[in-house]
Amino acid sequence: MSDLGALNKLRMQIMWDRLLAIVEEQAQTLIRTAFSTTVREAGDLSSGVFDTKGRMLAQAVTGTPGHVNAMAASVGFFLGKYPLATLEPGDVLLTNDPWHGTGHLNDFTVVTPVFYNEKAVALFAATSHIADVGGLGFGPDGRQVYEEGINLPIAYLFRAGELNRTLLEILRANVRDPIAAAGDLYSLTACNKAGTDSLLEMLDEFGLDSLDEVGRMIINNSRDAMLEEIRKLPQGQWRYTMQIDGYDEPVDLVCALTIADDGIDIDFDGTSQTSAHGINVPLTYTQAYASFGARCVIGNDIPNNAGSLGVVRVTAPEGSILNASRPAAVSARHAIGQLLPDVVLGCLEEPLDGKVPVEGAACLFGPVFLGGRGVIPGSDSEAFVMNAFYAGGTGARPGKDGLSCTAFPSGVRSTPVEITENAAPLIMWCKEYRPGSGGNGEYRGGLGQIMEFAHASGEAFAVSKMFDRIDHPPRGRDGGGPGAPARVYIKSGGKLKGMGREIIPAGESMILETAGGGGRGSPSDRDSEANASDEKNGLIF
């Protein structure tokens, strides 16, 4: 390579790194300005920069795979309705449509075109989870998407810099917390503006008039690097199945993974049909988490963008629970979607010679707490709604124990006790490790946790639950034991369902025990010092 060629390659790499810094700044702006605790405290968001064809070039490290990878597909839907040639400076588009966004109504995606010297050169997109969108509220009880909240099609939030006040008034009139909902849309707009300003500075600094050249380099290099990693693996097809709780009957997740010279194909043919409840998954969310499962262990150091994502192809039969058609209810699509990486990793157990994690709790344990006037009959207290996130244990890792109370695959942080108690009239009497919940083995599963929730004044309150792994705990592997199943109940006695809204009576508290991860290998092969350390620290009985 000539000195000139080497310098150009170095210059391109610097610009790529600069784009990664820009989208991270975009994400941090979203966190700093967000109204919803799910964004500020848990990091339930995504942000990224796209080329003029709608292909993702870079994503922020901060965020969740479900948001990021589904958003990577959603920008194409925006451009399908509003081609770039029809947009102008000051335009900002949004939607929370599950099939054009990230899978359910609580996620709003905002897309902002970037103009330089009067020419469109890129787009920024960001997604965040808004605590309430009206309807039945965040939960699995809906029978159709129409019941789950307000559904805004792809539309202008700002047009040539002018706010779409009618759209915002409609949103405010249909949600329980209009200040937070409107504030989060401004927050999404602000984070895209931060990305835009930094990108324009970069174009000036490098003397560029577009991202075309660096975009081609990013996509081509990432695709080629991913294919190189895939071609190191044995070719063939492997299968794995997982049965989970579902809403009122078990759901079968059936996967066939094929490794070939041109990429990886993941097919969910044989999976259960669409549910009558709100646990169905739009295809983009299925694709997001299934591809992430493969990317965790294949080419995981290759940047995540249109190039590396494009060689992992995911399909599911239309009408199945993993490719639900409108108007299926989809509010709790994460309850199933977040289990898909473990299904994909199960397929990869043999071709990767066991160098994959074992099954874990996987799905977030995300209770939505509601109370006060309009929720509890006879209550005269101020109404409230509060969405919190908690995690169980991951499965044993290759040569290591699983991680305790860790949200894999979502990466969402657990809601701190102080935030829960500040955002709602609730008290958490307990939040601690759940001893013995990790599956036994040479390498044990990660632990779940135990939490106790009560109303601060002793009133009754409601909780909308989206919990799995109660009847079907994470399985161990190679002689390892299963993780402890999740449990949810009233402290004085009385089992609660894993799915759906129920009332916690006055003076009572709700206890949630999250599932532990599965273990790997025979427990008799476990290091005696590791067992002694676990016992000393109270992690096992």
- Spell out the domain ranges in the chain: 3-223, 357-541
* Residue 409 scores a pLDDT above 60: yes
Distance CA 185, CA 204 (A): 29
pLDDT score, position 68: 87
Structure tokens at 28: 């941090």
* Residue 5 scores a pLDDT above 80: no
Q: How many CB atoms lie within 10 A of CB 205?
A: 10
- Summarize the confidence of residues 280-287 as an average pLDDT: 97
- Summarize the confidence of residues 277-285 as an average pLDDT: 97
Peptide bond into 409 cis (omega under 30): yes
Structure tokens at 254: 């059936």
- Summarize the confidence of residues 311-326 as an average pLDDT: 97
Share of the chain above pLDDT 70, in %: 99
* Residue 67 scores a pLDDT above 90: no
For the chain, helix (H) and strand (E) counts, in that order, are 12, 19
Distance CA 394, CA 361 (A): 6
Distance CA 204, CA 206 (A): 6
What does each C-alpha distance from 168 to 105, 147, 173 come to in angstroms? 16, 20, 9
Which residue has 């795979």 as its token pair? 65
* Residue 6 scores a pLDDT above 90: no
CA torsion through residues 281, 285, 290, 293, sign: negative
Mapping DSSP to helix (H, G, I), strand (E, B) and coil, where does residue 252 land? strand
Structure tokens at 435: 């001893």
Instruction: List, edge to edge, every strand of the sheet that includes 56-59.
Output: 56-59, 45-50, 119-129, 107-116, 92-95, 155-159, 162-163
Peptide bond into 327 cis (omega under 30): yes
What does each C-alpha distance from 74 to 56, 66, 67, 91 come to in angstroms? 10, 12, 10, 17
How many residues comprise the chain? Answer: 541
Q: How confident is the model at residue 21 (pLDDT cuts 50, 70, 90)?
A: very high
- Summarize the confidence of residues 159-179 as an average pLDDT: 96
Structure tokens at 316: 């599911």
pLDDT score, position 515: 98
- Summarize the confidence of residues 58-78 as an average pLDDT: 89
Distance CA 158, CA 500 (A): 37
Distance CA 332, CA 106 (A): 10
CATH code for the structural domain at 3-223 = 3.30.450
pLDDT score, position 371: 94
Least confident of 131-135, 191-195, 334-338: 131-135
* Residue 489 scores a pLDDT above 70: yes
pLDDT score, position 7: 65
Distance CA 257, CA 264 (A): 7
Better pLDDT: 315 or 10: 315
Angle at 137 between CA 135 and CA 140, to 5 degrees: 110
* Residue 3 scores a pLDDT above 60: no
- Summarize the confidence of residues 379-387 as an average pLDDT: 91
pLDDT score, position 1: 54
- Summarize the confidence of residues 104-116 as an average pLDDT: 97
**Inter-residue contact 419 to 428 (CB < 8 Å):** no
- Summarize the confidence of residues 215-242 as an average pLDDT: 96
Which residues are within 8 A (CB) of 503 and not within 5 positions of it... i.e. 6 or more apart? 376, 460, 461, 462
pLDDT score, position 38: 84
- Summarize the confidence of residues 369-386 as an average pLDDT: 92
Q: How confident is the model at residue 428 (pLDDT cuts 50, 70, 90)?
A: very high
pLDDT in tens, 72-107: 899 999 999 999 999 999 999 999 999 999 999 999
pLDDT in tens, 25-60: 999 999 999 998 888 888 888 999 999 999 999 999
Across the chain, mean pLDDT equals: 95
